[in-house]
Amino acid sequence: MCTISFLMIITNSCKKDVQLPEVTTGTISDITSTSAIIDGNTNSDGGGYVLSRGICWSNFLTEPDINEDNISLEGYGAGSFGGYMTNLTPGTTYYARAYATNAVGTGYGSVVSFTTTGNIINDIVFNPGLIYDNITDTAGNVYKTVQIENQTWMAENLKTTKFKDGTDIPNFISHDEWNNQQTPGYCWYLNDIKHKDLFGALYNWHTVNTGKLCPRGWHVPLYEEWTTLFNYLGTNYEIGNYLREAGTSHWLLTDSNVTNSSGFTALPGGWRNIDNTNFGDLGYTANFWAAPETDSNINTITFFYMGSWEGIFLVENLNTTGNSVRCLKD
């Protein structure tokens, strides 16, 4: 008996490899002090369905991407689309490009740049009905101070580049240098010293944790000392109005209920390195370090005023976050 075996070979000569989408960045229009519109087009889906598309932008990195920077999600599929960039800072240069993502990855269009109108560099508006004192730090910077009930606070953001013992605080500039640093360091917003006198410096947690940052006789406030301040003034929906600088010189979203009646004069100095975005929210948020209690991970007090997000939040930030500092008298 003879057995005959058959070998069947099946080929799929029609299978096509999926590539990254091909994307074009269009023109920028309607530039204001806080917003802009940019066009984009997914010219090709790369042979795979486009899961998401939109615009990404940065005020620091010259090649923004969706993992590091701000994004505006504008749907899915191939074709043209428009992206609306909001919560921008006046007088600031931004870099933007269109993107599209399929199962293989993300394709980008070319980078375009633009500068928002206006500026945010004006004198600080203190409460004219209050009397302020002064304090000088080791580097020679002078600050207004104000007494609120039983506490005495700096009424300006700290801007020293020296510890109280006179040693220099390192200035970390590059993106990678800041993100990978596990030692004390500071920077100016966008590494531009023009922001020093108004918004002060941004310090990482390692700088705060030395216990040497504030002038002699002053300290970075404990979390519980912040809550004591808040308890003096009222509820979460009221205290921001009593603590924030009045007017629209620096707070880009504000209203007539903001009085700065306490004299604290919270300033929206933004931050560095939250959610991988390098710098953000100058004019919209004030982020202050707090020394956490032993059983607490909360180390940041955030005055957050962006659209529907308004109020004061107690949060935990990474050690590589750059926040402002307000010192409290011992």
Cβ(153)–Cβ(264) below 8 Å: yes
The answer to whether residues 42 and 149 belong to one domain is no
Distance, CA of 260 to CA of 148 (rounded, Å): 12
Query: In this structure, what CATH number is given to the domain that contains residue 34?
Result: 2.60.40.10
Question: Using 50, 70 and 90 to split pLDDT, how confident is the model at 180?
Answer: confident
Cβ(206)–Cβ(172) below 8 Å: no
Q: C-alpha distances in angstroms, 178 versus 63, 157, 175, 196?
A: 18, 21, 5, 18
Q: Where are the beta strands (DSSP E) in 45-92?
A: 52-58, 70-73, 79-85
Q: What is the pLDDT of residues 226-253, one digit of tens each?
A: 999 999 998 766 898 999 999 988 999 7
The answer to whether residues 107 and 179 belong to one domain is no
Asked whether residue 12 is domain-assigned, the answer is no
Distance, CA of 126 to CA of 105 (rounded, Å): 50
Query: What would the mean pLDDT of 308-321 be, rounded to a whole number?
Result: 84
Name the helix (H) or strand (E) containing 242: helix 236-243
The answer to whether residues 91 and 231 belong to one domain is no
Cβ(88)–Cβ(94) below 8 Å: yes
Which of 81, 115, 149 is the C-terminal boundary of a domain? 115
Name the helix (H) or strand (E) containing 42: strand 36-44
Which residue in this structure is represented by tokens 């560095």? 272
Distance, CA of 23 to CA of 62 (rounded, Å): 18
Count the domains in the chain. Answer: 2
Ranking 7-11, 151-155, 158-162, 184-188 by mean pLDDT, the lowest is: 7-11
Asked whether residue 205 is domain-assigned, the answer is yes
Query: What would the mean pLDDT of 13-17 be, rounded to a whole number?
Result: 55
Q: C-alpha distances in angstroms, 32 versus 36, 162, 213?
A: 6, 38, 38
Query: What would the mean pLDDT of 83-102 be, rounded to a whole number?
Result: 94
Domain hosting 50: range is 22-115
Cβ(200)–Cβ(156) below 8 Å: yes
pTM: 0.89
At residue 311, the pLDDT reads 82
DSSP per-residue string spanning 281-314: -TTTEEEEE-B--TT----EEEEEEETTEEEEEE
